[in-house]
Amino acid sequence: MVMQRSNLMQFIGVLAFFLIGFGPMSRMTAAEKDYYRLLSVATSKAPTESRSKNWKPSPEGLPLEISGMTFLDDQRLAVAIRKGEIWILDGVYDEPAVNVTYKRFANALHEPLGLLQHDGALYTAQRSELTKIRDVDGDDIADEYLTAAKGWAVTGHYHEYAFGPKLDAKGNLWLTLNIGMGLKGDQLKRAVPDPPLGYRQGRWRGWGMVVTPQGTLVPMCAGMRSPAGLGANAAGDMFYTDQQGNWVATNSLHHLRPGVFFHHAEALASMNEPGSTIQGVKKVPAGVPIPEAMKQFPQLRPPAVWFPYKRAGQSPTDIMLDTSDGKFGPFAGQFFVGEFTQAGVNRVFLEKVGGEYQGVCFPFRSGFASAVLRLAQGADGSMFAGLTNRGWSSLGNASYGLQRLVWTGKTPFEIQEMRATKDGFELLFTLPVDPETAGDPASYTMQSHTYLYHAAYGSDEIQKKDLNISSAIVSDDGRRVRLVMQGLRELFVHALKADGVRSEAGKPLLHPNAYYTLNRRPQ
Amino acid sequence: MRSRVQVARIVVILPLLFTSPAFANAFFFMFFLPSWRSRIRFVLGLSVLLAAANAHGQATSPPFVAGFERFARHGDMSLAKAGDLLVSELSCVACHESGNPRWKPKRGPTLVGTANRFSEKWLREYLDDPNGKKSGTTMPHMLGHLDGGQRQTVINKLVAFLGTQKKPFETVRATGAVAVMHEFWNQGDPLRGRNLYHTVGCVACHQPDAKQETNQTAPTAVDQMISQLDSEELQELGLLRAARRVASVPHGDLVGKYTRQSLAMFLLRPDSVRKGARMPNLRLSPSEAADVTAYLLSEKRREVSIKETLLDPAMVEEGRSLFVELRCSNCHEATDVTSPRMATPWDKLNPETTHTCLIRPAAVMPDYGLDELQVDAIKSILESDSLIVEMDAAERVHHRMLQLNCYACHQRETELTNDGEAGVLGGVGRYRKAYFEMVEQVDLGDEGRLPPPLTGVGSKLQPKALKAVFDQRTTAYRRHMKARMPAYHANAVKHLVENLPVADQAGDKSESLVFGKASDLMFRAGHELSGTGCVECHLYRGESLPGVVGLDLAGITSRVRPEWVHDFVLDPGALKSRTRMPTFFPDGKSNRPDLLEGDVEKQIASLWFYLKDLTNQPLPAKIEKVRSQNYELRPAGRPVVLRSFMQDAGTHAIAVGFPQQTHYSFDSEKIRLASAWKGRFIDARGTWFERFTPPADPLGESLVRFPQGSPLALLDSDNVVWPAWKNQEALYQFRGYQLDSKGVPTFLYRFAQWQIEERIEPLERRGLRRQWKIQRVENEAAKAMDESGVLNVCIHQAKKLDRQTTTQVNGGGVQAQLAVVRGQDNGSGNRIIKTQESERWVVPLDGNDQQMVVVEYVW
């Protein structure tokens, strides 16, 4: 059928209208939201600033400052909130979530910072103990608050948060204990008496602890500053995140193992306590680069991943393992790490090299309504983010609440995995690459750096060096690229920028930056 | 014929279309139209529009100096004052040296870092025709006398030189309080940026977008009147000034000029580039700066990259010489340039010469494109005999406010003419009011949303507070306003800080001279008076009645001068016309004759002293009541539990409150009853919502504290020494608590081989009943803990105990009655064990597996 001329003109006009009108939009970089939609279940803004001494929640509704999350079943989500309550939410999967119901299950908890359904009860770490909470009489309201473990010091300093629990493959419940920050007055009376190396901290402050299936509290590893996130990988090995500050050069992710020391020297105050897994530290190096510090301090182990400050967040929190098997996109089996200050989520891929975990972090999603403190994966694979920024600050226009991140089904063009090789790195992309750009070494830049180990607050990136990428070899299926380069340095962060790479469809990477912590090179 | 013109027009338009998506869209829209005729008509209309738009874009106007445009053009300042302002704003004495401090040149932005800040294309276009590229620019054209080819050569050299002006951008520090995303300048949100631009204060000077929606509040009576009057009537009523539209400070071609990074960095720290501080620091966070950047550059299709051209060294050197020769360096900072070339000193200038900077500038002279009034204004001071007239403080303030355009936001009464006629200048003006909003949708009138008038501000604010207003670190005082007071470098506002108090004849009466001395009586009266009216509109250290949005009175005594507070409280309207603050002393009389003998002076003083000591004083009763409704735990029907830090019960405290108005705290670390009290229970706000975890304090009365020490012990029958806690600690294990159907907790713990359930509940309001149920445990763990000796329960403890009967012992303000001992005889073996620190009343239990002890405390 032949189109009439005027119709043809109209068609061209319409076409041009759309091409020009929306051209600029489509030419803009693809947005995170095209791949992962952010939905609000409930968010609120407090009338006071996040750091105000007079902080008050919104006069409307529940102060949903989520500090712990666990799914009770395919529908109901239990959340701990910072004022000390546990609520059971239903209807959180609704879109829009306008009929969410809230039922208070427990109260009178002292700043609970975790929540786990386990052994027919809800477990949460309060400031002074791990508590097992149950409803015995069947009215859906807790009437039993049993102490599952206690025994760490609480000097009364605000910074002595207790996080957890999370469950590892052996059935251990893990807890992490914040270090205190400059104890004063009565707080010092509750510190370890006559501590080694003169560090004034309460017992087990800065330590990772487990509660065994038999109910015994066991100290495992030390040197934590602000270990706000815990999470096990698919193998059931437990990890934690730490936050930049004194002794902590930048944010980090660590594998929790007995006898390992991470950063914060003041945790050595408990070195000589019965049960300690760290012994014989006589001197703590200070003011030396990390690789050198590790030579001088054998118990000091590098994190599996460093998150370069600002570039990969400012304050990591919870660790969520994607167990959705693809329902949450192409990153099954990887970690997602909450980000407080920048109100986002970063992504981590880990591999084992020489028997130890190391890996890479990528920016993943920004734009949450407030600080992301807790993450949990729903039955449909979507990610629930518990938000609260009180006491610190964050991006976003809310003070607290619950949001949900849903995969749109569209696969973003991302570096899915990055592995160390003998002579460089291998990248696996989520989509086939354009062989020309991906095969061009000029599409990539790489710079490595390390940090200083010292008592000061954070560290600059030091000993920066650009690496020369000599070749980029694209695999036959177009999904993998092998980067060959000189000048790799063990124990250094290797920052990759792959902004020249295009997908087969000509698209740039949604996130061209990746930060690989090369503790060991594969042999 | 006509159709050919039409076609020609369309042809001319076509390339233009692609400069503007909007027009392009409109153009192709014509294909929706049914016929060629209508399409042509449509395009004709479009071409007119486009021509108009282009004309608008390219229009030049004389240099834009905000104060001059707003006031001098309308006769609101003398010609000489207008000239004064132009001389500083056009930086005349950057070339024509003069010692007159008020002509201190504004100068242009620093050009150090040009190479990474501006696009090369824009730089070329701007040098080629400054006013054409940025209408109203105060930068004079320096190359106007050169023809096209010559001009391009000079531009090439200057650009080559400017290409050497590199300076890395400052690193923006991220902290727990400041989020800085990676390449934050690319992360902005144009919608948020648009809202910020229209609310934080940008549009006080710059052009608002007419499409921006505002929270239109009801117009004031004056606004309403103005809108109904014609200009003659306005003049008669002296309202012309208020009715006038205020012109906007031009932006120029931001899209063509800046990269996202350079604009975001400029918005974040304007004074690092423009040291003249005419563009103030709006206290944007990095993410806000990125948002505003995203909005201002939303038309940007492609990021301009600054071309990294290989700079020909010869060209660079020639450019460097030209930079000085053309006197660019007189106004612009650059690295590695020789000292500026000065021109004829100011006092040697002859305005009647044929070629001057003002009229018909000769080849090497700057061409500002001044209009007649501007020329006259500058001439008027050149021709004046009294060149260096010492300005008084008020004039200095006025001059600086004109330079910094403080008048864009603030009103201030000023002498308008040399013969002393005064009037109120400035303010956001009628047409911009709508962009000044309150944080919440509350109507406090203009007073609540517009920047405050500054008439008399020098006599109001204490010098330190005045200085602090400009400081970057000062947090907002009027937090209910969306508009922000910009921050200024101390040097930029030195004149204001120094001269405002003098200009406003601030008295320096001390606090004691104005108010006398503080006393408890004064504090109490001030507390009481605060509740009679102040609390309806003001906050007290962050606390307020529901829905109240206003100033927080905390800290007011260190901001405002005592005298001013006195006069204002006495008669608000006299100091601030149309204020919403009502008078509490009509006709100078107090309506509270019961307080301080109704003495008005004393009552005002009592408010001052109460507010001065506010951190230590109780909140006004009404506010306290609201606060407690939100955060005070009031057990009703069932007991209420709170775990917290407490003074007596330590860091493992469990407080339990009962509807019977009798409460206790339990120390779950040392497994002991720590304290008990009656009346109100506890305030939970600190525990629930305060980062620094203050201890929760009992609110009620009749507090009794129970001394520390192990509550249980295994003793030989003849042992009279009660063991110390630290030797017993390892025998205890706290196991939590259970709530019964009434919500009463029972604490569970182990002591050696014993499992204990301890339950404490009220005896109505008389006191507490405390019950231990004790059971021997037979499991392995318990056996490992098995200790020898007789289990003793300490049922009361005080510094001094006084036995009344075999079952009653008093001490520590408590009467303790042994009520039940089950599992053996009636506890007849109970005894008092004395040590130096305290005395214990203990009950030994026999070896039975099940025991129960009950004691009642009455106080």
Q: Residue A10: is its pLDDT beyond 90?
A: no
- Whether residues B605 and B641 share a domain: the answer is no
> Each residue of A398-417: pLDDT tens digit?
999 999 999 999 999 999 99
Least confident of A7-21, A456-470, B630-644: A7-21
Q: Which residue segments constitute the domains of chain A, with CATH numbers given?
A: 32-407 (2.120.10.30), 415-518 (2.60.40.1220)
Could you give the ipTM of this predicted complex? 0.93
> Each residue of A174-224: pLDDT tens digit?
999 999 999 999 999 999 999 999 999 999 999 999 999 999 999 999 999
Nearest chain A CA: its distance from B366 CA (Å): 41
Least confident of A314-323, B562-571, B621-630: B621-630
- Judged by a CB distance cut-off of 8 A, whether residue A460 touches chain B is no
Max Cα-Cα span within chain A: 96
Residue B101's pLDDT band, with cuts at 50, 70 and 90, is confident
Q: Residue B674: is its pLDDT beyond 80?
A: yes
Residue B416's pLDDT band, with cuts at 50, 70 and 90, is confident
Separation CA A427–CA A124 (nearest Å): 39
Q: Do B652 and A154 touch (CB under 8 A)?
A: yes
- How many whole angstroms from its chain centre is CA B566? 27
- Whether residues B348 and B398 share a domain: the answer is no
Is-contact B744 B639, C-beta < 8 A?
Answer: yes
For B540, the closest chain A residue by CA position comes to A54
Q: Do A146 and B641 touch (CB under 8 A)?
A: no
- Whether residues B78 and B154 share a domain: the answer is yes
- Whether residues B601 and B658 share a domain: the answer is no
The 3-state DSSP class for residue B800 equals coil
- Rounded mean pLDDT, B553-579: 93
Q: Residue B30: is its pLDDT beyond 60?
A: no
Separation CA A318–CA A68 (nearest Å): 9
pLDDT of residue B825: 58
- Whether residues B466 and B574 share a domain: the answer is no
The 3-state DSSP class for residue B265 equals helix
Instruction: Give the global pTM.
Output: 0.89
**Domain edge (last residue) among B583, B602, B627:** B627
Separation CA A200–CA A192 (nearest Å): 7
> Each residue of B191-209: pLDDT tens digit?
999 999 999 999 999 999 9
Q: Residue B549: is its pLDDT beyond 90?
A: no
User: A452-466, B161-175, B375-389, B529-543 — which one is most confidently predicted on average?
Assistant: A452-466
- Rounded mean pLDDT, B563-578: 92
pLDDT of residue A2: 42
For B544, the closest chain A residue by CA position comes to A54
Q: Residue B483: is its pLDDT beyond 80?
A: yes
Q: Residue B445: is its pLDDT beyond 90?
A: no
pLDDT of residue B219: 67
User: A9-23, A471-485, B504-518, B814-828 — which one is most confidently predicted on average?
Assistant: A471-485
Separation CA B408–CA B428 (nearest Å): 6
- Rounded mean pLDDT, B675-688: 96
pLDDT of residue B11: 46
pLDDT of residue B430: 87
Q: A518 forms bridges with which residues in the sheet?
A: A492
Total number of domains in chain B: 5
pLDDT of residue B310: 61
Answer whether residue B173 is part of any domain. no
> Each residue of A74-90: pLDDT tens digit?
999 999 999 999 999 99
- Whether residues B571 and B710 share a domain: the answer is no
> Each residue of B616-643: pLDDT tens digit?
999 999 999 998 888 999 999 999 999 9
Nearest chain B CA: its distance from A325 CA (Å): 30
Q: Residue B54: is its pLDDT beyond 50?
A: no
- Whether residues B612 and B683 share a domain: the answer is no
- Rounded mean pLDDT, B342-363: 87
For A143, the closest chain B residue by CA position comes to B739
Answer whether residue B688 is part of any domain. yes
Q: Residue B569: is its pLDDT beyond 50?
A: yes
Which chain A residues are Cβ-neighbours of B177 within 8 angstroms?
51, 392-393
- Whether residues B705 and B830 share a domain: the answer is yes
Nearest chain A CA: its distance from B668 CA (Å): 9
- Rounded mean pLDDT, A431-454: 98
B214 or A32, which is more confident: A32
Chain A segment 63-82 residues within 8 A of B by beta carbon are 63, 82
> Each residue of A359-376: pLDDT tens digit?
999 999 999 999 999 999
Say which residues have a Cβ less than 8 Å from residue A385's Cβ, sequence separation at least 6: A338, A345, A368, A372, A374, A375, A402, A403, A404, A405
B214 or B742, which is more confident: B742
| pLDDT, chain B, mean | 88
SS3 letters across B665-677:
EEECCCCEEEEEE
Tokens 């020391």 belong to which residue? A261
Q: Do B630 and A12 touch (CB under 8 A)?
A: no
Nearest chain B CA: its distance from A62 CA (Å): 13
Q: Residue B49: is its pLDDT beyond 80?
A: no
Domain interval for residue B459 = 393-503
Closest CB to B644 among A21, A110, A144? A110
pLDDT of residue B16: 46
Closest CB to A16 among B28, B669, B736? B28
pLDDT of residue B228: 79
- Strand residues in A107-243 grouped as ranges (E): 116-118, 121-125, 130-134, 144-149, 162-167, 173-177, 207-211, 217-222, 229-232, 238-242
The 3-state DSSP class for residue B263 equals helix
**Domain edge (last residue) among B333, B350, B383:** B383
Among candidates B662, B648, B656, which has minimal Cα distance to B701? B662
pLDDT of residue B40: 60
Exposure pattern of A61-99 as b/e (b: 16+ CB <10 Å)? ebbbbbbbbbbeeeeebbbbbbbbbbbbbbebbeeebee
Answer whether residue B698 is part of any domain. yes
Among candidates B409, B416, B377, B371, which has minimal Cα distance to B395? B416
Answer whether residue B275 is part of any domain. no
> CA-CA distances (angstroms) from residue B639 to A85, A133, B633, B657, B741?
16, 18, 10, 5, 11
- Rounded mean pLDDT, B319-324: 96
Chain A segment 156-195 residues within 8 A of B by beta carbon are 156, 158, 190
Nearest chain A CA: its distance from B652 CA (Å): 6
For B173, the closest chain A residue by CA position comes to A310
> Each residue of A19-46: pLDDT tens digit?
433 333 333 456 999 999 999 999 999 9
- Rounded mean pLDDT, B656-669: 98
- Rounded mean pLDDT, A318-337: 98
**CATH code of B689's domain:** 2.70.98
Nearest chain B CA: its distance from A355 CA (Å): 33
Q: Residue B365: is its pLDDT beyond 70?
A: yes
Tokens 């690229």 belong to which residue? A481
Q: Residue B297: is its pLDDT beyond 50?
A: yes
pLDDT of residue B151: 95
Among candidates B738, B727, B737, B732, which has minimal Cα distance to B753? B732
B214 or A500, which is more confident: A500
Q: Do B182 and A312 touch (CB under 8 A)?
A: yes
Q: Do A84 and B643 touch (CB under 8 A)?
A: yes
Is-contact B341 B325, C-beta < 8 A?
Answer: yes
Answer whether residue B136 is part of any domain. yes
Q: Residue B22: is its pLDDT beyond 80?
A: no
- Strand residues in A256-313 grouped as ranges (E): 288-289, 305-307
- Rounded mean pLDDT, B523-532: 94
Closest CB to B179 among A131, A190, A394? A394
- Whether residues B520 and B619 share a domain: the answer is yes
- Rounded mean pLDDT, B670-691: 96
pLDDT of residue B350: 85
> CA-CA distances (angstroms) from residue B255 to A503, B5, B117, B202, B342?
30, 34, 12, 17, 35
Among candidates B335, B371, B389, B366, which has minimal Cα distance to B130? B366
**Domain edge (last residue) among B627, B659, B682:** B627
B417 or B392, which is more confident: B392
Is-contact A231 A319, C-beta < 8 A?
Answer: yes
Give one DSSP letter per residue of B140-162, joined into a string: PBSSTTS-HHHHHHHHHHHHHHH
- Whether residues B753 and B732 share a domain: the answer is yes
| pLDDT, chain A, mean | 94
Nearest chain A CA: its distance from B176 CA (Å): 6
Residue B456's pLDDT band, with cuts at 50, 70 and 90, is very high
- Whether residues B715 and B840 share a domain: the answer is yes
pLDDT of residue B634: 95
Answer whether residue B401 is part of any domain. yes
- Whether residues B663 and B769 share a domain: the answer is yes
Angle among Cα A485, A488, A491 to the nearest 5 degrees reads 155
Residue B568's pLDDT band, with cuts at 50, 70 and 90, is very high
pLDDT of residue B833: 92
pLDDT of residue B386: 55
- Judged by a CB distance cut-off of 8 A, whether residue A13 touches chain B is yes
Q: Residue A5: is its pLDDT beyond 60?
A: no
pLDDT of residue B683: 94
Residue B721's pLDDT band, with cuts at 50, 70 and 90, is confident
Length of chain B: 859
B235 or B407, which is more confident: B407
Residue A285's pLDDT band, with cuts at 50, 70 and 90, is very high
pLDDT of residue A215: 95
Is-contact A174 A164, C-beta < 8 A?
Answer: yes
Separation CA B36–CA B32 (nearest Å): 10
**CATH code of B543's domain:** 1.10.760.10
Least confident of B106-110, B415-419, B495-499, B850-854: B415-419
Answer whether residue B799 is part of any domain. yes
B220 or B662, which is more confident: B662
Separation CA B337–CA B8 (nearest Å): 51
How much of chain B exceeds pLDDT 70, in percent? 89
Q: Do A20 and B735 touch (CB under 8 A)?
A: no
pLDDT of residue B351: 80
Which chain B residues are Cβ-neighbours of A48 within 8 angstroms?
542
Q: Is the dihedral of CA A84, A86, A90, A95 positive or negative?
A: positive
